[in-house]
Amino acid sequence: MKKILFYTDTPLFGGAEKQLILLAKFLPKSEFEMMLVCGKSPALKPLIQAFQELGLKVYRSEAKHKHSPSNYFELLKILEIEKPALLHIQIWNPMAGKYAFMAASKLKIPVVATEHDPFELKGAKRLIKKHLLQKTTAIITVSKANEDLMKALYHEIQNIRTIHNGLDFENFEKPILQFPLQEQHRLKREILESDDLNTQIILSVGTLHERKGYKYLLEAFTKVKKEVPNCKLVLVGEGPERTNLEDFRKNLDFVHDMKILSWRDDIAKIMTISDLFVLPSLKEAFGLVILEAMAMKLPVVASNVGGIPEILQPETQDFNSLNAKYGMLTEPGNSLNIAESMLKFLNKDGLREKTIFLAHARCKEFSAEKMARKTAELYSEMV
């Protein structure tokens, strides 16, 4: 049995951490013994709890920040004790995990690094990053777009391959089967603060960050609202742009028909009562939340950036085309284009139903089991 040690120095719980949990759940226990090293940030509680519930060992680092040298010394000690066959580093930020690379290199332990969201670095940071990547046995990117970007940024680096993020469909099919109509109505009244159950909900879920392009979605909604009066926009998330978005929202028409909710643990249920999902990102590594919406039989409108077209377009189609088969692709930052695409699905014609049917079948191709199987194959090649 091969011992795999997962490492992350993030203080946050997000998409990368959800994928770590899925790897821990679906990698074959007969082949791999898994364990985790992470920090003590309270936000990481779901990650710790998930590993512990699976009966896996968790080490908590005392390091205050990803730049703290104590990351190196603590991990070095753990590696010497556990002697893993492989260290799998989660690179959630371009300069994340640098001390993990150094510790593994010192002990000559093979390294897999998953680059979740690469972007160009300059000067000394780029040289350091390049040096660290050259210590890596294999690099995983979560989309072909990211693989191409990594090859362009670090053309000297070899063995970069794409393993798409996966979804545990059981977590998204249960809410449909176990969510009675009466409970759906109760949740809809709560979200909308209204008894009008005929209102159509346009939903978006994500970190409230400038790169998510929510400003353009708010602008698009004011155009949609004039054509479809019985609709409301609901954003779910937290982030540095929340205050700016709230201020921006107050200056738009139909301000009372737009709501910004904090993070919730019932996203699947909110998707059940929604009519359309929109992700207006200016930059997106993959777009896992799109798969979640497709699994919940929501039509999707999303930007033609990063890994998104790999989800919404068949492989035979030109990724520069906006005529996606499994949803509507829009030009990033184009509020008029976003509005036009939203209206096509809110009209609830044959196009909407056909797209939902095709998209629900399509999302099954991105299963957590498939992601874990491909990752296991890579591990076996390396050790």
Contact 290, 266 (CB under 8 A): no
Summarize the confidence of residues 95-109 as an average pLDDT.
Answer: 93
Question: Dihedrals φ, ψ of 238, to 5°?
Answer: -135, 160
What's the mean pLDDT in 66-73? Answer: 90
Q: Is the pLDDT of residue 7 over 90?
A: yes
pLDDT at 156: 81
Q: Is the pTM higher than 0.85?
A: yes
Residue 119 Cα distances to 9, 151, 290, angstroms: 18, 11, 22
Q: Residue type for 373, please? A: R
pLDDT of residue 150: 93
Return the minimum-mean-pLDDT range out of 60-69, 320-329, 330-339. Answer: 320-329
The pLDDT tens digits of the residues spanning 243-294 come to: 999 999 998 888 889 999 998 889 999 999 999 999 999 999 999 999 999 9
How many CB atoms neighbour CB 204 within 10 A? 27
Tokens of 243: 């205050």
Long-range pairs for 70-75: beta carbons < 8 A, 24 or more residues apart: 71/9, 71/99, 71/100, 72/99, 72/102, 72/103, 74/37, 75/7, 75/37, 75/99, 75/100, 75/103
* Average pLDDT along the chain: 92
Using the predicted structure, report yes or no on whether residue 324 has a pLDDT greater than 80: no
Tell me what pLDDT residue 316 has: 55
| Helix, strand or coil, per DSSP, at residue 354 | helix
Judged against a pLDDT cut of 60, whether residue 320 lies above it is answered with: no
Residue 321, pLDDT > 70, answer no
Are the C-beta atoms of 292 and 199 separated by less than 8 Å?
no
- CA-closest candidate to residue 11, choices 70, 59, 64, 90: 64
Task: Look at residue 317 in the predicted model and tell me its pLDDT.
Answer: 57
Q: What is the pLDDT of residue 310?
A: 94
Cα 165 to Cα 15: distance, rounded to the nearest angstrom: 9
What is the Cα–Cα distance from 296 to 272, expressed in whole angstroms? 6
Contact 156, 136 (CB under 8 A): no
* pLDDT for position 318: 55
For the residues 185-198, what does the mean pLDDT come to? Answer: 93
Query: Which tokens hold the place of 262?
Result: 């904090």
The domains located in the chain, with CATH, are 2-166+367-382 (3.40.50.2000), 170-363 (3.40.50.2000)
How far apart are alpha carbons 271 and 253 in whole angstroms? 25
Share of the chain above pLDDT 90, in %: 74
Residue 221 has pLDDT above 90, yes or no: yes
At residue 13 the predicted structure's pLDDT band, cuts being 50, 70 and 90, is confident
322 pLDDT higher than 60: no
Cα–Cα nearest to 202, from 212, 217, 182: 217
- Residue 77: what pLDDT? 96
Among candidate residues 60, 56, 57, the one with its CA nearest the CA of residue 44: 60
Per-residue pLDDT, averaged over 281-309, amounts to: 94
d(CA 258, CA 238): 15
